[in-house]
Amino acid sequence: MSDFLKSFIKILRQLQRNRMALAGVLIVVFMFLLALFAPLYNRDPGAIDITLRLMPPGWGHPLGTDDLGRDVLARILYGARISLLVGFVAVGIATVIGIIVGAMAGFYGRWVDALLMRFVDIMLCFPTFFLILAVIAFLEPSIWNIMIIIGLTGWMGVARLVRAEFLSLRSRDFVVAAQSIGASDQRLIFHHILPNALSPVIVSATLGVAGAILTESALSFLGIGVQPPTPSWGNMLITGKQTLGSAWWLSVFPGMAILLTVLGYNLLGEGLRDALDPRMER
């Protein structure tokens, strides 16, 4: 059995012993399946029918309809695709940038470390959400722009984590031994140090998905995120806000979708943190 498979089985066993983490896994898998099989719910999320306007939850429309007669459940299911896509792509961009910057700073040290970390400090001085708002003000508010902007403004935490791991690992015996036999910097970074530095990155990325989903929802709620008629949990809340007194379901169900998804990723991230921490082994 390979070391990777052994480590994977060990992590699964740790997660099984953590009920909160297991709940997070179930929520994440459930939301992923809803997004994946959304087309099986045979309703068009953009179909307008004024005669069905603001219908409460019932047999024909399980979660009711909005002010244009569109099925709320269909919009939530397709909105899950948007939210998960934004979360994964934005965190993927942030993780790649953070790993590159942190690895360079931690491995080479000295002036490279000083220069890169001062740039990280400068980026951290700006409130992330307002930085995103400032950038979007000059760009078209599209889903791809949102994913890229969230990714480009959310890599600093990953960079600091990776730098700390590299500073700790670069003087270990296995790295010194590989260096003594002439291993190149590229091989030392990607084959010897980085695989051993990924544990906190995985945890950070998992928690980052929740943060990216919240950011996208907030931007869409403000009207500068995903634009109608494309369904998004954030822009669905705008309609819910306008009809909160007479159509509670327009706010409650998208809000619950955001709550459950973010809670699931946070619980999973905390569980992975415990599972990947050798001090938590029993």
- Residue 3 resides in a domain: no
- Residue 8 resides in a domain: no
- Residue 1 resides in a domain: no
126-157 residue pLDDT tens: 777 787 877 777 777 778 888 888 898 889 99
Give the pLDDT band of residue 260 (cuts 50, 70, 90): very high
Q: In the predicted model, what is the mean pLDDT of the chain?
A: 85
- Residue 133 resides in a domain: yes
The whole-number pLDDT of residue 107 equals 87
Which of 21-30, 155-164, 247-256, 266-275 shows the lowest mean pLDDT across its residues? 266-275
- Residue 193 resides in a domain: yes
91-116 residue pLDDT tens: 999 999 999 999 999 888 889 899 99
17-34 residue pLDDT tens: 778 888 888 999 999 999
Which of 45-59, 140-154, 242-256, 266-280 shows the lowest mean pLDDT across its residues? 266-280
Distance CA 169, CA 188 (A): 11
Q: Tokens standing for 189?
A: 């970074």
Give me the amino acid identity at 89: V
Task: Kindly report the CATH number assigned to the domain that includes residue 25.
Answer: 1.10.3720.10
C-beta separation of 232 from 98 below 8 A = no
- Residue 221 resides in a domain: yes
- Residue 5 resides in a domain: no
- Is the pLDDT assigned to residue 282 strictly greater than 60? no
- Residue 11 resides in a domain: no
Which range of residues forms the domain containing residue 181?
17-280
Q: How many domains does the chain have?
A: 1
> Residues with Cβ < 8 Å from 64, sequence gap 6 or more?
54, 55, 56, 57, 58, 72, 247, 249, 250, 253
Report which of 26, 72, 30 is spatially closest to residue 47, judged by C-alpha positions.
72
| 7 or 158, greater pLDDT | 158
- Convert 144-185 into a string of H (helix), E (strand) and C (coil): HHHHHHHHHCCCHHHHHHHHHHHHHHCCCHHHHHHHHCCCCH
Number of helices followed by number of strands (H, E) in the chain: 12, 0
C-beta separation of 235 from 251 below 8 A = no
User: Distance between the two ends of the chain, CA-based, in angstroms?
Assistant: 22
Q: Greatest CA span in the chain, whole angstroms?
A: 77
pTM of the model: 0.86
Name the DSSP class of 55.
P
What residues form DSSP beta bridges with 113? Answer: none
SS3 state at 22: helix
